[in-house]
Amino acid sequence: MPKERLDKLLASQGLGSRSDMQKAIRAGRVTIGGTVCRSPADKIDPEDRELCLDGRPIQYRRYLYLMMNKPAGILCVSRDPKVPTVVDLLPAEFRRKGLFPAGRLDRDTVGLVIITNDGDYAHRVLSPAKKVVKRYQALLDGPVGTEEVKAFAEGVKLADGTLCRPAALRLLPQEPGPLAEVEITEGKYHQVKRMFAAVGRRVLWLKRCAIGGLILDASLPEGGCRELTAPEQALVWEKCQ
């Protein structure tokens, strides 16, 4: 990979601000290949040389891929001056510049969100041309049946005349109320809620459970997050299981 300034590179790994890293470098706390470096402007290839801060090796990662179980009431954006966002929930070890959610969930919608700083990966996840399936569970204000299943399969027309792509609708056990599972391959504004509204039903609760073959980790508490493994990152291109 191209060489980068040492202070910028260290800051990109969530180790502190660029100013913090400049101070650490000048204080002799950083080594490159076992040799102390005191110049923040030195350029290195982190994949070619071992970097250490205070004697601890730094596992350089150009891109970060996180799975979050988004809670209700949190905005699914990078930043907002008034309201907490999914990026604000990240623990210190994951915080770095450039992170953003790959696709949005409504403020009151919960479930799976991918947070990354890899713009190309996010674009492919979100692009309608890639037809990546997003699976949701919805608690409704009343039951749905074969007519609604057929309407979703044919492509629901929203109240404003927008025609949605064909979507899969499945009925789930009716506990604690009418529950349905929906799979869509696009991401229009409030799409799932508007689709149900078009067939006369209101969504009371909504959760995203999967993106492609990547299923939300059942052990992840609301507001929790963890890194995605390389195989998990690739699962988004697979079919929902």
pTM assigned to the model:
0.84
DSSP state of 71: P
> Is the pLDDT score of 235 beyond 90?
yes
- State the pLDDT at residue 175: 65
How far the first Cα of the chain sits from its last, in Å, is 36
pLDDT digits (tens, 9 = 90+) for 171-203: 987 766 799 999 999 988 899 999 999 999 999
Average pLDDT (220-239) is: 93
Choose, from 20, 42, 88, 106, the residue flagged as catalytic: 106
Tell me, yes or no, if 80 is annotated catalytic: no
pLDDT of residue 50: 85
| pLDDT of amino acid 222 | 95
